[in-house]
Amino acid sequence: MEITQTAVQETLNTEDIEGLLELGAPGDEYSHEAKSIMSALAGLHQNELTEDELASVVRTVWIRSFGPFSDVDIEKRSPAFRQVAHRLLKTQPLAAS
């Protein structure tokens, strides 16, 4: 099974890191971020894709999309970045390259 953009989108929606969906944003609020994460993953080989690496990708995309953030704001979001990575790797292992 492969990490798909749909899986990334669903995981980002579940985590709702910025709380935008809870405030009534449309269900595709994080679609740009899902696409950006998928683009970043396309450049990685399966053996490079660890939870730490995936969390770093999510963090980088998030800062680019919603930042700039202070160090405190990044620290506050870090558990959510890791949770996204964990869920994706647990439920959607990356297909062999």
- Higher pLDDT: 93 or 3? It is 3
The pTM (predicted TM-score) of the whole model is 0.91
Q: Is residue 96 predicted with pLDDT exceeding 50? A: no
CA distance 3 to 78: 21
- Higher pLDDT: 91 or 47? It is 47
Judged by DSSP in three states, 94 sits in: coil
Task: Give the pLDDT mean for 3-22.
Answer: 96
Q: What is the DSSP string of 9-54?
A: HHHHHHH-TTSTTTTT--TTTTHHHHHHHHHHHHTS-GGG--HHHH
Task: Give the pLDDT mean for 16-29.
Answer: 97
Question: What does the buried/exposed string (b/e) look like for 37-46 if buried means 16 or more CB atoms within 10 Å of the residue's CB?
Answer: bbebbeeeee
Q: Looking at 15-19, 32-36, 77-81, 88-92, which range is the least confident one?
A: 88-92
Which residue shows structure tokens 């970045």? Answer: 81
